[in-house]
């Protein structure tokens, strides 16, 4: 009978040891999963914030594009209303000065934009092509 109790105690002891080791493993895995969930939530929050910023930027760009399209339509309307060939033949000096002035403004704007973009690329502000 003592051998029977010893066997039961031994079996119960091994069972308890196995359950304790399983409990430790499961506790460790649970902690890892909680850390992973926290990281995933942070990543989702960052993605959501990025998505919102992109949406705002897209709305701003669409608004600016609508303004540009309206300005383009206004300019195209000017060209539709006037026959520039006839005007150039009738008053070449008038049209030439306006075209030259407009071309100069366009080139100045392009140069200023280029300088601004170059200064964004080069934090020192040097505009030297040899760098």
Query: Is the confidence at residue 82, as pLDDT, over 80?
Result: no
Q: Which of 118, 52, 71, 114 is nearest to 60 (CA)?
A: 52
DSSP state of 130: T
Q: Is pLDDT larger for residue 129 or for residue 40?
A: 40
Q: What is the pLDDT of residues 22-70, one digit of tens each?
A: 999 999 999 999 999 999 999 999 999 999 999 999 999 999 999 999 9
pLDDT of residue 67: 95
How far is CA 46 from its chain centroid?
12
Beta-carbon contacts of residue 115 (< 8 Å; ≥ 6 apart): 127
Q: What is the pLDDT of residues 87-103, one digit of tens each?
A: 778 888 877 888 889 89
pLDDT of residue 119: 82
As a whole number of angstroms, the distance between CA 131 and CA 128 comes to 6
Query: Is the confidence at residue 129, as pLDDT, over 70?
Result: no
Average pLDDT for the chain: 88
CB 118 within 8 A of CB 127: yes
Query: Is the confidence at residue 125, as pLDDT, over 80?
Result: no
User: Could you tell me the residue ranges of all domains in the chain?
Assistant: 1-71, 82-131
pLDDT of residue 93: 82
- The model carries a pTM of 0.45
Sorting pLDDT into bands at 50, 70 and 90, what band is 80? Answer: confident
- Strand runs labelled E in 61-103: none
Q: How far apart are the first and last CA of the chain?
A: 94
State the chain's maximal CA–CA distance in angstroms. Answer: 129
As a whole number of angstroms, the distance between CA 102 and CA 115 comes to 20
């Amino acid at each position: 009978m003592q051998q029977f109790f010893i066997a039961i105690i031994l079996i119960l002891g091994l069972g308890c040891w196995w359950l304790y080791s399983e409990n430790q493993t499961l506790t460790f895995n649970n902690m890892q999963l909680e850390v992973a969930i926290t990281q995933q939530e942070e990543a989702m929050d960052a993605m959501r914030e990025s998505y919102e910023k992109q949406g705002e930027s897209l709305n701003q760009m669409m608004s600016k594009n609508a303004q540009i399209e309206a300005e383009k339509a206004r300019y195209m309307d000017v060209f539709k209303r006037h026959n520039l060939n006839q005007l150039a033949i009738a008053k070449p000096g008038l049209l030439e000065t306006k075209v030259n002035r407009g071309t100069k403004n366009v080139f100045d704007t392009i140069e200023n934009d280029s300088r601004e973009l170059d200064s964004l690329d080069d934090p020192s502000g040097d505009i030297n092509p040899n760098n």
